[in-house]
Amino acid sequence: MTDLANDQSFVKFDRVQKSYDGENLVVKDLNLAMPKGEFLTMLGPSGSGKTTCLMMLAGFETATHGEILLDGKPINNIPPHKRGIGMVFQNYALFPHMTVAENLAFPLEVRKLDKSVREEKVKRALDMVQMGAFGGRRPAQLSGGQQQRIALARALVFEPELVLMDEPLGALDKQLREHMQFEITRLAHDLGITTVYVTHDQTEALTMSDRVAVFEDGRIQQLAPPDTLYEEPENSFVAQFIGENNTLEGVVTEMKGDGLCEVKLDGGEIIYAKPVNVTKAGDRTRVSIRPERVEMNKERLQEGAHTLKAEVLEFIYMGDIFRTRLRVAGNEEFVVKTRNAPDQPRLTPGTQLEIGWLPEDCRALDA
């Protein structure tokens, strides 16, 4: 809690730990600072501690160690309803006995706003989620997506500065989910709301967020904007978790002076890669390369690319792209994605070819 006067962060987790049973830490050492207006997503596998973090911020759980600050003030001792936080949870049901409008008016009544002000705010919130005509209905008379939009409107109706969302779109079909993703980010930006969003859908995290915190086992593995996370994963876990990745295992044989290292793959092939968390010759490494950075058309290989022999095992036509599975350096799950274009061949299993990529697109990570 040092130097708060100079600390611009609106939400801050400072060395936060959490244990439910007094023994196992499910949140291990969480440090996170969010500026006002940021849309931050917590992404990670089941059980990695995302909901627990949200619950501590909301005030339904207390931190075992460390401190949580909101707008520079510690909130450990402020009860949930006094934190002024809007919430949308996957199973955070609407009140079934109330109409849509009454559901929305509820948080305003709790805050003792006048009837005329309440009515105006409810109307605006309904319009915001394009549900203006549905104020008189009960939740049971709405589709799942409409209910979700009302839940969103209810979280925003009292104009909170901070909104927490825990897998709010989990139950929706793909099309509606994509529409709501757009709606939520638009509202959050238009209203200048600071948002902490939880999901285990990585596409959702990448498309919606200013920054993404990748959780694993109670720790943030990497905290970065979507493009950095995808293009510059800092370790093997993040590289595997975000997007698709090909990995080739081997050992570093030389750290070169030009920002690359030489790696001898377990099958004996030599390749070059960017050293990310290897430091010296002899380090075991997993080299990672994205499927869309691999070139299968020899004519198009750029200067400086190195090549490896490959055999086509499977070719899948996916409409906009082709997905080819290859055997490369002993790895039978090596995937290449190519754009569906007239000059991209459709390959048959058994075809032998040479593939290649730029060493800069290749990252030498922890083994």
Ligand X SMILES: Nc1ncnc2c1ncn2[C@@H]1O[C@H](COP(=O)(O)OP(=O)(O)OP(=O)(O)O)[C@@H](O)[C@H]1O
First CA to last CA distance, the chain: 37
Shorter beta-carbon distance to ligand X: residue 202 or 285:
202
Residue type, 65: H
Q: Edge to edge, what strands does the sheet with 25-34 contain? A: 25-34, 11-19, 65-70, 73-74
200 sits near ligand X (criterion: CB under 6 A): yes
Shorter beta-carbon distance to Mg ion: residue 51 or 288:
51
What is the DSSP code (8-state) at residue 200?
Answer: S
Which of Mg ion, ligand X, none sits in contact with 48, Cβ below 5 to 8 A by type? ligand X
> Per CB under 5 A, which region of 50-58, 98-106, 270-278, 335-343 contacts Mg ion?
50-58
Residue type, 233: P
Give the three-class secondary structure for 129. Answer: coil
Residues from 6 through 25 that contact ligand X (CB under 6 A):
20
The residues facing 295 across adjacent strands are 356
48 sits near ligand X (criterion: CB under 6 A): yes
Shorter beta-carbon distance to ligand X: residue 60 or 95:
60
The sign one gets for the Cα dihedral 236, 237, 242, 244 is positive
224 sits near ligand X (criterion: CB under 6 A): no
199 sits near Mg ion (criterion: CB under 5 A): no
The tokens for 102 are: 């009454």
Residue type, 323: R
236 sits near ligand X (criterion: CB under 6 A): no
**Minimum CB distance to Mg ion, residue 44 (Å):** 9
Q: What is the CA radius of gyration of the chain?
A: 25
Residues near 110 by beta carbon (within 8 Å), at least 6 away in sequence: 81
Number of residues that bind Mg ion (CB under 5 A): 1
Choose, by CB under 6 A, the member of 9, 41, 51, 235 that binds ligand X.
Answer: 51
Which of Mg ion, ligand X, none sits in contact with 47, Cβ below 5 to 8 A by type? ligand X
46 sits near ligand X (criterion: CB under 6 A): yes
59 sits near ligand X (criterion: CB under 6 A): no
Which of ligand X, Mg ion, none sits in contact with 44, Cβ below 5 to 8 A by type? ligand X
Q: Find the angle CA(175)-CA(144)-CA(159) to the nearest 5 degrees.
A: 95
Choose, by CB under 5 A, the member of 51, 148, 246, 285 that binds Mg ion.
Answer: 51
What is the DSSP code (8-state) at residue 78?
Answer: S
Residues near 291 by beta carbon (within 8 Å), at least 6 away in sequence: 244, 245, 246, 323, 335, 336, 337
Number of residues that bind ligand X (CB under 6 A): 11
The tokens for 303 are: 């200067």
Choose, by CB under 6 A, the member of 50, 149, 177, 363 that binds ligand X.
Answer: 50
Whole-angstrom Cα distance, residue 148 to residue 90?
A: 9
What is the DSSP code (8-state) at residue 344?
Answer: S
The residues facing 248 across adjacent strands are 287
Shorter beta-carbon distance to ligand X: residue 89 or 134:
89
> Per CB under 5 A, which region of 44-52, 114-122, 216-224, 329-337 contacts Mg ion?
44-52
Q: Find the angle CA(83)-CA(86)-CA(91) to the nearest 5 degrees.
A: 120
Residue type, 2: T
188 sits near ligand X (criterion: CB under 6 A): no
Shorter beta-carbon distance to ligand X: residue 47 or 192:
47
**Minimum CB distance to Mg ion, residue 137 (Å):** 30
Which of ligand X, Mg ion, none sits in contact with 225, Cβ below 5 to 8 A by type? none
Please name the residue ranges forming H helices in 192-270: 202-208, 226-231, 236-241
192 sits near ligand X (criterion: CB under 6 A): no
Shorter beta-carbon distance to Mg ion: residue 202 or 324:
202
> Per CB under 6 A, which region of 40-48, 107-115, 203-211, 244-252 contacts ligand X?
40-48
Positions touching ligand X (CB under 6 A) are: 20, 26, 44, 46-52, 200
Positions touching Mg ion (CB under 5 A) are: 51
